[in-house]
């Protein structure tokens, strides 16, 4: 018994094994997502394409280069970003139900997108016809502006707010308010516009082009860098803000950095992929459960890996390999993810300890 506790507590080797496993899983998922889809590309061919060799089927190379590779990279970035952002929010608000969107970031992005999609018709159908690439980008830009506006409001308010609980409630209120605007816009829109808005809310990793990729990559790398720099403060915040302050943490400043990091991660992801539910809430819990620790030095890399892996797998399932059908990504993350998390949590029985 004592020995087992010692092992669990010191963790070291056990954690290293699990981390290695998670990383290998990520590689496998990445390979699968390049290989599987409506057209099956064998692994050998995949290697050839990625190393730039001549391959038997040029169509494969086009599929991988223009569709699957950007989609897989987007999924990795988005999954990691949402999960890390969720972990930060859960620790900052000391609330197991917190996720990347508690501060109304996705609601802000939705409003931006809704304004673009639902009002274009009013401006004239000429615009829609000429949208093409510009249209894609304008969605992302609108979402970024929307998310950034809400983020700005939250950060501004957070400077004068003492308790994180107030901040949490304010974030929820921002979310409701922007949601109401979206409802009004929808109410006055024609069905076609509503449909394209709804399509955006389903989420997708497939709409990021190579030209947009650098923007997404740099935003998310910056967000992740900040998040990894906040690992030590996040551990101190496990004891609550008062203890954290007593240990030398500048709580207000760190809170600001964590909010900035989490919001960039969630905002950039939502802007390019739509509001992807569930990953940000579930992955931190899965990792705590799996690694049996709340230590962010272990959790942060684990969450990054597992988030990316689950995003890849969800996308894989959504594309129903071998068929021409595609399911909405959000339906897959929640429909398949929820039962897995429920089973996992009931089985391990340690979620209750997450913040009690």
How far is Cα 62 from Cα 49, in angstroms, rounded to an integer? 9
Position 249 contacts another protein (CB under 8 A): yes
117, 139 contact by CB (below 8 A): yes
Rounded to whole angstroms, the Cα distance separating 232 from 272 reads: 30
**Residues touching another protein, count (CB under 8 A):** 33
CB nearer to another protein: give 189 or 261: 261
* Shortest separation between residue 138's beta carbon and another protein, angstroms: 40
Is residue 299 within 8 A of residue 112, CB to CB? The reply is no
99 to 272, 281, 285: CA distances (angstroms): 18, 5, 11
Task: Supply φ then ψ for residue 100, to 5 degrees.
Answer: -60, -20
Q: How far is the CB of 310 from another protein (least distance, A)?
A: 21
Task: Identify which of residues 212 and 289 has a Cβ nearer to another protein in the complex.
Answer: 289
Interface positions, 267-296, toward another protein (CB under 8 A): 288, 292-295
CA distance 67 to 39: 12
Q: Does 320 participate in binding another protein (rule CB under 8 A)?
A: no
Q: Is 323 near another protein (CB under 8 A)? A: no
Nearer to another protein, 33 or 90 (CB): 90
Q: Which of 56, 195, 218, 250 binds another protein (CB under 8 A)?
A: 250
Nearer to another protein, 217 or 354 (CB): 354
Closest CA to 78 of 113, 33, 115: 33
DSSP string, 61-122: HHIIIIIIHHHHHHHHHHHHHHHHHHHHHHHHTT-TT--TTTTSHHHHHHHHHHHHHHHHHH
Q: Which residue has the tokens 């093409």?
A: 132
Contact, 156 vs 174, CB < 8 A?
A: no
Per CB under 8 A, does 354 bind another protein? Answer: yes
Q: Is 183 in the site for another protein (CB under 8 A)?
A: no
Least distance from C-beta 292 to another protein, angstroms?
A: 6
Using CB under 8 A as the binding rule, whether residue 163 contacts another protein is answered as: no
Burial class (CB in 10 A: 0-12, 13-18, 19+), 189: buried
How far is residue 57 CA from its own chain's centroid?
A: 34
Q: Which stretch binds another protein (CB under 8 A): 3-11, 115-123, 143-151, 193-201?
A: 3-11
Rounded distance between C-alpha atoms, residue 340 and residue 174, angstroms: 31
Please report whether residue 297 would count as binding another protein according to CB under 8 A.
Answer: yes
- Distance linking the first and last C-alpha atoms of the chain: 24
Show contacts with another protein in window 215-244 (CB under 8 A): 229, 231-232, 235-236, 238-240, 242-243
Between 87 and 150, whose beta carbon lies closer to another protein?
Answer: 87
Q: Does 355 bind another protein (CB under 8 A)?
A: yes
**Is the separation of the CB atoms in 62 and 49 below 8 Å?**
no
Residue 5 makes contact with another protein by CB under 8 A: yes
Interacting residues with another protein between 59 and 98 (CB under 8 A): 94
Interaction between residue 9 and another protein (CB under 8 A): yes
Q: How far is the CB of 86 from another protein (least distance, A)?
A: 14
Contacting residues toward another protein, per CB under 8 A: 2, 5-6, 8-9, 94, 229, 231-232, 235-236, 238-240, 242-243, 245-250, 288, 292-295, 297, 350, 353-356
């Amino acid at each position: 018994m004592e020995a087992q506790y010692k092992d669990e507590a010191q963790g070291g080797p056990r954690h290293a094994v699990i981390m290695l496993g998670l990383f290998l899983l990520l590689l496998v998922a990445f390979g699968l997502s390049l290989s599987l889809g409506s057209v099956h590309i064998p692994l050998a061919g995949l290697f050839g394409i990625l190393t730039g060799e001549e391959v038997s089927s040029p169509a494969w190379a086009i599929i991988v280069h223009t569709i699957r590779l950007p989609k897989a990279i987007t999924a990795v970035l988005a999954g990691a970003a949402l999960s890390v952002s969720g972990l930060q929010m859960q620790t900052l608000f000391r609330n197991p139900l917190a996720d990347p969107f508690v501060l109304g970031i996705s609601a802000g992005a939705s409003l931006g997108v809704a304004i673009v999609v639902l009002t274009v018709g009013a401006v004239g159908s000429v615009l829609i016809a000429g949208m093409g690439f510009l249209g894609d980008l304008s969605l992302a830009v609108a979402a970024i502006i929307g998310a950034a506006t809400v983020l700005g409001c939250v950060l501004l308010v957070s400077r004068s707010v003492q308790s994180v609980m107030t901040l949490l409630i304010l974030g929820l209120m921002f979310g409701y308010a922007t949601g109401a605007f979206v409802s009004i816009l929808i109410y006055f829109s024609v069905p076609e516009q509503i449909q394209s808005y709804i399509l955006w809310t389903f989420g997708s990793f497939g709409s990021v082009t190579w030209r947009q990729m650098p923007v997404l990559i740099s935003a998310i790398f910056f967000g992740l860098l900040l998040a990894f720099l906040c690992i030590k403060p996040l551990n101190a915040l496990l004891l609550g803000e008062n203890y954290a302050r007593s240990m030398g943490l500048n709580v207000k400043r760190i809170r600001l950095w964590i909010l900035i990091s989490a919001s960039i991660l969630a905002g950039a992801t939502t802007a390019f992929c739509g509001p992807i539910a569930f990953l940000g809430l579930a992955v931190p819990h899965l990792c705590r459960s799996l690694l049996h620790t709340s230590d962010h030095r272990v959790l942060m890399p684990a969450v990054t890996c597992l988030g990316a892996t689950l995003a890849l797998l969800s996308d894989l399932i959504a594309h129903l390999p071998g068929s021409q059908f595609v399911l909405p990504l959000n339906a897959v993350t929640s429909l398949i993810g929820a039962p897995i998390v429920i089973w996992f949590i009931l089985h391990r029985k340690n979620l209750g300890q997450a913040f009690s």
